[in-house]
């Protein structure tokens, strides 16, 4: 209190000074007085509050009485967004607090504070967006830190064989320096250290790059398009561009992009299972449940919301910040290869152990000699250091054999080819969400595809209009329509739609339509051809209830009331034959209502079939005036009547087939993949489109079960479905359940099934299929999350491209397996035979590590990045149980391995005498020939069956680059790193001999591929039969 009195006295003194100021006008005096008092008093009071805060902290330790504390509720408001702060906006949605919402003025109050127009949205200019970012944050999530390069280096160091090699290198280095001094003694151990370092570096860099690539693809897959209203027009932005105050449009299948509040809509139901775990759908409305949470999915209906929180301020953001995508996902092929690697590794370990045993026995029995021809071991006369050094050298050789024998390059090759394929597929309009789909797609035997947008362009245009039994074309015919029928059309089109129209304020003539292609086509036709004024229609009518369109009922309806006379009307729109079944009357051109008897109904059926046979989608409009509005049983919503309607008219929408789709279908069929079309259109439209796309052929009989309707397929018994499912090419008027049923039947018959889907209800079929393919443009977020691959351009030709890439992945892996197993077999046999017979291994530890580097990493890069060829589509699909190592591969690798073993063993035992060269030169010749054989064999591995292995090689610049780098490095190893690699320089003749021996593998490959192979897998005789 004393502080306050002192402050007041200081302020009064200041006022006295102001009164004595002369030569100032009264107004200026008042302004100066006000400014001075404000500044001085605030300076006087501020330190007093600080002192009070310190004192209160001290007293709080003594007296915890809450009544003695003063709580100041400080609201940090942005000058542009007064009346609301970030914490209040977060709290109102997270707590689902209607009371808190009411205190903030409801949705209208919040929108006013956020400078948002609920009808026209935010302005959306740069200044507006930046101020919202600054105040409320961005719609991005904090991700856990990505794995650094050192993490992959550490993972590589964990390999037991690498650790043993490093230990042996350390012993070798120590003994070498002790025996020969630091200048000469470091070569053996140091060379192993450098070689191991190279292997670890290349492996770590490769794995690090693939991890980064997967992360980039993960970011792309989470970049969801969202429809918002900005500056009175609907537009699409990405989910990361959403800001607080945004007006977002929601429809079935959408993901709610941020936390927010419901503005308006109809029948909006949300699946909150991702947040709560409850599978029941939550109905969203204005009064009881206006709260919408980020990450939830729209299950039914449509509506608008205003965003109140984004990014880390949402519950979903907090959850996502703790989740990271597992880039170490094991695909089925990788698991099979791990088993293969394990089996080969066991063989390698057995060989290495035998080599170790033989070398140790020969050393300790005095059967080995040094470079001077003296025995290496002379019992007690041999120094302990020499014995330990020799044992370390022997162990190093044995361990190095294990390193070469274990094909750790196989998993790396899979990772490389998958990463390369994913990148290329992205450029070819296919985004891979699950790695296993890349492999599985290569085995696909059946593709079940949608029609609209996949086989067709999804660019709808009204080309036919029937009013009653008469076809009307052009403005002259449209002028004959009676005014009352025209008004009903305006209501049925302008109100019963999820689309919208934006009219430019500048010209007033430019129209921009948004919504689904069907909605946009009908709206543009009504406004441009029928002169509908959509704003006037919405102004004159109030919508009471809406039944949103879904793929099961294939219709949508509204109940509306006219403002002028209060009359209630029902309007339905949907598939023509379904709307026709709900009608008992129809309007003619004059506007008279006629009875729809059986005879007339047959005529309308013929009209519908005629349009459908012309590949038109038939949409009908129906109306009914309601005398008394009824309510749904057990609910408050007014019921939309479904019978006794009057048919207004029908339109036919043309959706042209995509260019190139027929060729893509033919390519799939030629590759042994059956293409089935599953569509919601009627059977006549489905037949016409299927014939145009090449799925149905003119010579196919209509009664041979190639075309069925969903209800017919559903009605079959299990036995009938299993019998007929292979014959079916087209399923019309299908529901998502019918699609799921077909997928289940095909899988039970042993097919590998790929399914395309775009709707929320397609999710079960997409999950059930071996490969789920969702549509990137028309696909809902629910469909995309249920799929394995997203087709970004919704084009069937891209589906065929995915099939080609799937086969390419499988083929590239087989090429690398053949290449690597050839090296494994040759290296193991050569070292084992030499060790047993001569007591020494021809290839040193450093040389074997260099071979390991060539075949594991560089070989994987060269062979795993081959692009798909046309020949891949000439083969039948690879079966689920077909062995990974085929008869053709066994033939090729055994031929090359036997050739290499024969030549190198001849050089090992007779090379010195035949070529008249020293032992060190002979060892270098063996090493050089062995490496060059692998380089030349890389060309042979490019083609498993074709004799011409050089076809298209100029297109693979990476392959040629790797071969060139390998040859250059080999020259450096032999000619310039003599002490590092334990080699001697070779003359031109010796280089020519090495190149000649290696090049001989090409004609051998050509001859071997002329040898026919049996159909029975050779691998069935060995332990590899499961691979």
Cross-strand pairs, 638: 631
Which tokens in the block code for residue 820? Answer: 């690597």
Which residue has tokens 């087939």?
Answer: 657
For residue 322, count CB atoms less than 10 angstroms from its CB and return exposed for 0-12, middle for 13-18, buried for 19 or more.
Answer: exposed
Q: What are phi and psi of 72, to 5 degrees?
A: -105, 115
Cα gap 546→1000, rounded to integer Å: 78
Q: Do residues 1019 and 890 lie in contact, with contact meaning Cβ atoms separated by under 8 Å? A: yes
Q: Residue 1027 and residue 884: Cα distance in Å, rounded?
A: 5
- All residues at 6 or more sequence positions from 632 whose CB lies less than 8 Å from its CB, including other chains: 638, 639
Structure tokens at 796: 């069937």
Percentage of residues in the chain having pLDDT higher than 70: 81
> What would you report as the CA-atom Rg of the chain, rounded to the nearest whole angstrom?
39
CA distance 282 to 291: 10
Confirm if 973 and 983 have CB atoms less than 8 A apart. yes
Q: Distance between CA atoms of 29 and 150, rounded to whole angstroms?
A: 71
Confidence class for position 346, pLDDT limits 50, 70, 90: confident
pLDDT in the model for residue 764: 85
**501-510, 522-531, 553-562, range with the lowest pLDDT:** 501-510
Q: Give CA–CA dist 740/760, Å, rounded.
A: 13
Looking at residue 1021, the DSSP 8-state letter turns out to be G
More confident residue, 985 or 362: 985
pLDDT of residue 1: 40
Phi, psi angles (nearest 5°) of residue 536:
-65, -40
Q: Whats the size of the chain, residue-wise? A: 1027
Is the pLDDT at 15 greater than 80? The verdict is no
- Residues 6 or more apart in contact with residue 961 via CB below 8 angstroms: none
Whether 46 has a pLDDT exceeding 50, the answer reads no
Q: Are 366 and 377 in contact (CB under 8 A)?
A: yes
Alpha-carbon distances, residue 126 vs 102, 130, 134, 623 (angstroms): 31, 6, 12, 46
Q: Is the pLDDT of residue 82 over 50?
A: yes
Who's near 103: CB < 8 A, 6+ residues apart?
Answer: none
Whether residue 742 has pLDDT greater than 90: yes
Q: Is the pTM of this model over 0.75?
A: no
- When pLDDT is averaged across residues 661-688 and rounded to a whole number, the result is 90
Q: pLDDT (tens digit, 9 = 90+) per residue, 895-945?
A: 999 999 999 999 988 888 999 998 889 989 999 999 999 999 999 999 988
The pLDDT score that the predictor gives to residue 218 is: 65
Closest CA to 425 of 959, 924, 867: 867
Confirm whether 450 is a catalytic residue.
Answer: yes
Write a three-state SS string for 603-651: HHHHHHHHHHHCCEEEEEEEEEEECCCCECCCCCCECCCCCCEEEEEEE
**Does the pLDDT of residue 548 top 60, yes or no?**
yes
Nearest by Cα to 769 from 781, 662, 783: 783
Q: Give the residue with greater pLDDT, 167 vs 955.
A: 955
Alpha helices in 943-1023 (DSSP H): 957-975, 978-981, 988-999, 1001-1008
Which tens digit of pLDDT belongs to each residue from 695-735?
Answer: 988 766 555 689 999 999 999 999 999 999 999 999 998 88
Torsion sign over Cα 998, 1003, 1005, 1008: negative
How much of the chain, in percent, has pLDDT values that exceed 90? 28
pLDDT score for 480? 84
- For residue 851, list its beta bridge partners: none
Q: Are the C-beta atoms of residues 710 and 735 closer than 8 Å to each other? A: yes
Cα–Cα distance for residue pair 479/486, rounded to 1 Å: 10
Res 1020: pLDDT:
58
pLDDT category at 165 given cuts 50, 70, 90 is low
Per-residue pLDDT at 5 exceeds 60: no
The pLDDT value recorded for residue 457 is 85
- What pLDDT band is residue 3 in, cutting at 50, 70 and 90? very low
C-alpha span between 111 and 98 (Å, rounded): 16
**Burial readout 166-180 (b: 16 or more C-beta within 10 A, e: otherwise):** bebbebbbbbbbeee
- By DSSP bridging, strand 430-432 and strand 297-309 are unpaired
9, pLDDT greater than 50: no
pLDDT score recorded for residue 619: 95
Which pLDDT score is estimated for 836? 74
Cβ-contact 827, 809 below 8 angstroms? no
Q: What share of the chain is helix, strand, coil (3-state, %, to 5)?
A: 55, 15, 30
Specify whether the backbone of 588 is left (phi greater than 0), alpha (psi in -120 to 50) or beta: beta
pLDDT tens-place string over residues 142-161:
766 777 888 888 887 777 76
Between 991 and 190, the more confident residue is: 991
SS (H, E, C) 259-286: EEEEEEEEEEEEECHHHHCCCCEEECCC
DSSP 366-394: T--B-TTS-BS--GGGS-HHHHHHHHHHH
| Whole-number pLDDT of residue 511 | 81
Give the residue-averaged pLDDT of 15-43.
44
Confidence band, pLDDT 50/70/90 cuts, at residue 78: low
Catalytic residue among 450, 667, 762, 856, which? Answer: 450
pLDDT of residue 398: 75
Distance in angstroms (rounded) separating the CA atoms of residues 286 and 27: 53
550 pLDDT tier (thresholds 50, 70, 90): confident
Q: Report residue 807 as tokens.
A: 């086969």
pLDDT band with cut points at 50, 70 and 90 for residue 51: very low
674-678, strands of its sheet edge to edge: 430-432, 789-791, 771-775, 753-757, 446-449, 674-678, 730-732, 707-709
Q: Is 553 exposed, middle or buried (0-12, 13-18, 19+ CB in 10 A)?
A: middle
* pLDDT-derived band at 18, boundaries 50, 70, 90: very low
How far lies 286's CA from each of 264, 265, 272, in Å?
7, 9, 18
**What pLDDT is stored for residue 323 in this prediction?**
53
| CA–CA gap between residue 259 and residue 315 (Å, rounded) | 8
pLDDT at 295: 84
User: How confident is the model at residue 573, as a pLDDT?
Assistant: 95
Confidence check: pLDDT of 624 > 90: yes
Please tell me which residue, 3 or 90, carries the higher pLDDT value: 90
860-899 exposure pattern, b = at least 16 Cβ within 10 A, e = fewer: bbbbbbbebbeebbeeebbeeeebbbbbbbbbbbebbbeb
Candidates 548, 549, 532; CA nearest to 540 is 532
What is the residue-averaged pLDDT of the chain?
81
Query: What does the alpha-carbon distance between residue 351 and residue 773 come to, in Å, rounded to a whole number?
Result: 47
Stretch 415-437: mean pLDDT, rounded?
Answer: 81
Q: Read off the pLDDT band of 63 (50, 70, 90).
A: very low
List, for residues 291-302, the tens digit of each pLDDT value: 999 888 888 888
Question: CB neighbours (10 Å) of residue 561?
Answer: 17
pLDDT of residue 362: 80
More confident residue, 216 or 616: 616
Burial class (CB in 10 A: 0-12, 13-18, 19+), 424: middle
Q: What is the pLDDT of residue 177?
A: 75
What is the β-pairing status of strands 707-709 and 730-732? Answer: parallel
Q: How confident is the model at residue 118 (pLDDT cuts 50, 70, 90)?
A: very high
Residue 101: how many CB atoms within 10 A of its CB?
A: 21
Q: Specify the 3-state DSSP secondary structure of 410.
A: helix
pLDDT in tens, 200-254: 777 787 778 767 776 776 666 677 889 999 988 888 899 889 999 999 999 888 8
Q: Is the predicted pLDDT of residue 850 greater than 50, yes or no?
A: yes
Alpha helices in 843-977 (DSSP H): 845-853, 859-864, 887-915, 919-941, 957-975
Under the banding of pLDDT at 50, 70 and 90, the label for residue 328 is low
């Amino acid at each position: 209190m004393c502080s306050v009195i002192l402050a007041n006295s200081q302020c009064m003194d200041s006022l006295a000074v102001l009164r004595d100021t002369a030569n100032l006008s009264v107004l200026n005096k008042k302004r100066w007085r006000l400014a001075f008092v404000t500044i001085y008093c605030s300076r006087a009071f501020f330190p007093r509050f600080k002192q009070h805060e310190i004192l209160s902290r001290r007293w709080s330790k003594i007296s915890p009485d809450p009544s003695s504390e003063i709580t100041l509720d400080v609201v940090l408001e942005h000058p542009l967004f007064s009346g609301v702060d970030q914490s209040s906006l977060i709290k109102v949605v997270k707590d689902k607090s209607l009371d808190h919402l009411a205190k903030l003025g409801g949705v209208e109050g919040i929108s006013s504070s956020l400078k948002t127009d609920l009808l026209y949205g935010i302005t959306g200019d740069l200044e507006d967006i930046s101020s919202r970012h600054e105040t409320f944050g961005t719609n991005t999530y904090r991700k856990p830190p990505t794995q650094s390069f050192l993490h992959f280096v550490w993972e590589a160091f964990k390999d037991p064989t690498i650790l043993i090699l490093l230990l042996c290198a350390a012993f070798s280095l120590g003994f070498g320096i002790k025996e020969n001094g630091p200048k000469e003694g470091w070569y053996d151990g140091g060379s192993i250290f450098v070689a191991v370092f190279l292997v670890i570096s290349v492996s770590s860099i490769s794995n690090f790059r693939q991890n980064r690539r997967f992360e980039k693809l993960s970011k792309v897959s989470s970049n969801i398009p969202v429809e918002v209203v900005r500056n009175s027009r609907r537009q699409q932005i990405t989910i990361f561009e959403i800001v607080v105050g945004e007006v977002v449009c929601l429809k079935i299948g959408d993901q709610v992009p941020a936390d927010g509040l419901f503005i308006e809509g109809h029948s909006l139901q949300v699946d909150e299972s991702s947040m709560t775990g409850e599978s029941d759908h939550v109905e969203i409305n204005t009064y009881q449940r206006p709260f919408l949470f980020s990450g939830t999915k729209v299950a039914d209906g449509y509506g608008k919301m205003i965003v109140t929180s984004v990014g880390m301020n949402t519950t979903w953001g907090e959850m996502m910040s703790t989740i990271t995508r597992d880039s170490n996902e094991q695909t089925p092929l990788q698991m099979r290869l791990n088993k293969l690697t394990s089996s080969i590794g066991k063989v390698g370990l057995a060989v290495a152990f035998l080599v170790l045993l033989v070398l140790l026995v020969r050393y300790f029995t005095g059967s080995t000699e040094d470079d001077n021809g003296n025995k290496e071991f002379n019992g007690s006369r041999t120094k302990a250091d020499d014995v330990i050094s020799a044992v370390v050298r022997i162990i190093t050789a044995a361990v190095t054999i294990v390193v070469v024998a274990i094909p750790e390059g196989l998993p790396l090759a899979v990772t490389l080819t998958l990463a390369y394929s994913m990148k290329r597929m992205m450029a070819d309009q296919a985004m891979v969400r699950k790695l296993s789909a890349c492999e599985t797609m290569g085995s696909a035997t059946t593709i079940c595809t949608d029609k609209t947008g996949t086989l067709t362009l999804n660019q709808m245009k009204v080309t036919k209009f029937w009013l009653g039994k008469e076809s009307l074309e052009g403005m002259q015919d449209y002028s004959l329509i009676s005014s009352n029928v025209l008004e009903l059309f305006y209501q049925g089109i302008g109100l019963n739609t999820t689309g919208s129209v934006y009219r430019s304020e500048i010209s007033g003539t430019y129209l921009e339509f948004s919504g689904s292609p069907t909605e946009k086509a009908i709206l543009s036709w009504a406004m441009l051809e029928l002169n509908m004024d959509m704003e006037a229609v919405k102004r004159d009518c109030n919508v009471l209830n809406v039944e949103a369109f879904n793929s099961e009922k294939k219709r949508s309806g509204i109940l509306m009331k006219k403002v002028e006379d209060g009359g209630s009307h029902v309007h339905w729109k949907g598939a023509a034959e379904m709307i026709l079944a709900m009608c008992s009357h129809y309007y003619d051109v004059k506007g008279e209502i006629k009875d729809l008897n059986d005879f007339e109904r047959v005529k309308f059926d013929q009209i519908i079939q005629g349009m459908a046979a012309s590949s038109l989608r038939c949409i009908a409009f129906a109306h009914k005036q309601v005398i008394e509005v009824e309510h749904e049983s057990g609910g408050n919503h007014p019921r939309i009547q479904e019978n006794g309607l009057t048919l207004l008219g029908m339109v036919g929408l043309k959706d042209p087939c995509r260019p190139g789709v027929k060729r893509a279908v033919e390519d799939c069929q030629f590759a042994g993949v059956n293409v089935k079309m599953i569509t919601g259109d009627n059977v006549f439209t489905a037949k016409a489109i299927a014939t145009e796309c090449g799925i149905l052929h003119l010579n196919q009989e209509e009664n041979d079960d190639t075309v069925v309707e969903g209800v017919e397929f559903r009605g079959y018994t299990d036995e009938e479905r299993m019998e007929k499912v292979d014959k079916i090419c087209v399923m019309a008027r299908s529901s998502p359940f019918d699609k799921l049923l077909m997928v289940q039947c095909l899988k039970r018959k042993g097919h590998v099934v790929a399914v395309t889907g775009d709707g929320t209800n397609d999710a079960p079929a997409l999950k059930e299929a071996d490969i789920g393919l969702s549509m990137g443009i028309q696909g809902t977020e629910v469909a995309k999350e249920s799929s394995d691959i997203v087709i970004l351009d919704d084009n069937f030709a891209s589906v065929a491209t995915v099939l080609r890439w799937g086969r390419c992945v499988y083929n590239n892996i087989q090429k690398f397996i053949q290449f690597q197993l050839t090296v494994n077999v040759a290296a193991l046999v050569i070292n084992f035979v030499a060790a047993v017979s001569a007591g020494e291994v021809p290839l040193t530890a450093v040389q074997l590590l260099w071979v390991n580097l060539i075949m594991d990493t560089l070989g994987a890069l060269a062979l795993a990045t081959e692009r798909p060829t046309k020949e891949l589509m000439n083969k039948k699909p690879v079966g689920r149980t077909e062995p990974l190592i085929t008869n053709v591969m066994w033939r090729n690798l055994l031929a090359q391995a036997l050739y290499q073993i024969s030549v190198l063993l001849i050089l090992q035992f007779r090379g010195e005498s035949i070529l008249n060269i020293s032992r060190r030169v002979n060892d270098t010749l063996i090493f050089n020939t062995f490496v060059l054989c692998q380089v030349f064999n890389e060309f042979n591995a490019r083609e498993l069956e074709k004799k011409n292995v050089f076809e298209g090689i100029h297109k693979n610049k990476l392959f040629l680059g790797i071969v060139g780098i390998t040859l250059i490095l080999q020259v450096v190893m032999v000619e310039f790193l003599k002490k590092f690699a334990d080699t001697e320089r070779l003359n031109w003749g010796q280089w020519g001999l090495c190149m000649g021996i290696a090049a001989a593998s090409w004609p051998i490959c050509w001859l071997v591929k002329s040898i026919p192979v049996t159909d029975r897998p050779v691998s069935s005789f060995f332990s590899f039969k499961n691979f």
